[in-house]
Amino acid sequence: MASMLADWWQKKRAKPIPAHVTFFHCFGGLSLSLIILQVLTGVFMLFFYTPEPDKALYSIEAMSNDVTLGWLIRNLHRWCSTLLMATVFSHMIIVFFYKAFKSPRQFTWISGVFQLLAVFLLLVTGIMLPWDWRAYWSFAIWMDYIDTWFVIGEPLKNFFLSTFSLELLYYTHILVIPLLLAGFLYFHFKMVRKHGISEPL
CA 5, CA 65: separation in Å to the nearest integer? 39
Q: Does 173 bind ligand HEM (CB under 6 A)?
A: yes
CB 54, min distance to ligand HEM, A: 15
Which residue stretch of 1-9, 25-33, 142-150, 151-159 sits at the interface with ligand HEM (rule: CB under 6 A)? Answer: 25-33
Q: Does 100 bind ligand HEM (CB under 6 A)?
A: yes
Q: Which is nearer to ligand HEM, 153 or 193 (CB)?
A: 193
Burial 92-113 (b: 16+ CB within 10 A, else e): bebbeebebbeeebeebbebbe
Q: Which of residues 108-167 bind ligand HEM (CB under 6 A)?
A: 108-109, 112-113, 115-116, 119, 122-123, 126-127, 129-130
Q: Which is nearer to ligand HEM, 127 or 156 (CB)?
A: 127
Query: Residue 74's closest CA among 125, 26, 124, 37?
Result: 37
CA 65, CA 73: separation in Å to the nearest integer? 12
CA 185, CA 191: separation in Å to the nearest integer? 10
Q: Does 70 bind ligand HEM (CB under 6 A)?
A: no
Burial 25-47 (b: 16+ CB within 10 A, else e): bebbebbbebbebbeebbebbee
Q: Which is nearer to ligand HEM, 102 or 159 (CB)?
A: 102
Amino acid found at 105: R
CB 158, min distance to ligand HEM, A: 26
Angle, nearest 10°, between helix axes 70-97 and 26-46? 150
List contacts with ligand HEM (CB under 6 A).
25, 27-29, 31-32, 35, 38-39, 42-43, 45-46, 49, 60, 74, 77-78, 81, 84, 88, 91-92, 95, 98, 100-101, 105, 108-109, 112-113, 115-116, 119, 122-123, 126-127, 129-130, 173-174, 178, 185, 188, 192, 197-198
